Amino acid sequence: VYGNGVSEQTIGSFLKSHPHRFTIATKGGIRRDPQTKVRSFDNSEQHLREALDKSLHDLGVEHVALYYIHRRDQRIPIEDLMQTLVKFKEQGKIGAIGFSEVAPSSLRRAHAVHAVAAVQSEYSLWSRMPELGMIQACRELGVAFVPFSPLARGMFAVRAPDPANFSDSDFRKNNPRFMAPNLSHNLAIVDGFRSYALDRGTTPAALAIAWILHQGEHLIPIPGTRSARHLAEDAGAADLILSAGDLEEIERLLPCGFAHGDRYSEAQLPGVERYC
């Protein structure tokens, strides 16, 4: 659904002229009305098959290594959904099964039917709900935990985000944490972390990712960027070794629950399974 298919088409175009050296993951399960832009969730076999086939076509591949259910459709038991995904795997269209923004209880039910390879949820120094059960469940079951928005949607950049520069389509424009008065509180708190990273000779983005990597070997953060330079900085996080003192100072600067405002607005929240 990203860019109404443009993201996959762009990657597919790139793959045509470059050797395939990538592990490709994509998602299905969300419908978006092209006229009203209203989204709904559909985990039916018919819809997922149509969505997957379109993804394969746009990517120009016959197989993706990992296929996530983007959001759960609560009308369909997760056990039945897993049977659909197992069919796709047996047909060679996908290599592994994943879920996005589900609860630990849902993961356990799904994993009892067939191995789940990965769970993707928002996790960063300012969004730490997965510590209340999901990270532990993934470790126990041998499932990769894939934090998205590990850089707090740009909050951990060297230059703090300015809402005046947000486009009308920017997710953050209507996000509580980026709206007054929450934003000013958040900027003031994160500024101390930013200074600590720069004084340490690294970037706040690299330090934030390094912190995630220190939470467990099964965590695989996926930072987003439009810059090759920023991508290189993010990848450098893997080389950062944090001492116990570093981790203690980061916790002091950004204590669990420090963020002002909900991570989603009411309009952005539907489909996310809340378990605490």
Q: Catalogue the active-site residues.
A: 2
b/e sequence 9-27, b meaning 16+ C-beta within 10 Å: eebbeebeeeeeeeebbbb
Instruction: For strands 39-41 and 30-32, give the pairing.
Output: antiparallel
The residue written with tokens 């990538």 in the block is: 22
Angle (CA) 217 223 225, round 5°: 155
CB atoms within 10 A of CB 221: 22
Pairwise CA distance, residues 176 & 163, whole Å: 12
CB half-sphere exposure, 239, CA atoms < 13 A: 8
What is the per-residue burial (b if ≥16 Cβ within 10 Å, else e) of 112-147? Answer: ebeebbbbbbbbbbbbbbbeeebbebbeebebbbbb
CB 150 within 8 A of CB 221: yes
The token pair that represents 207 in the structure block: 């330090």
Q: Where are the alpha helices (DSSP H) in the chain?
A: 6-16, 45-59, 78-90, 104-113, 134-141, 182-199, 204-213, 228-235, 244-253
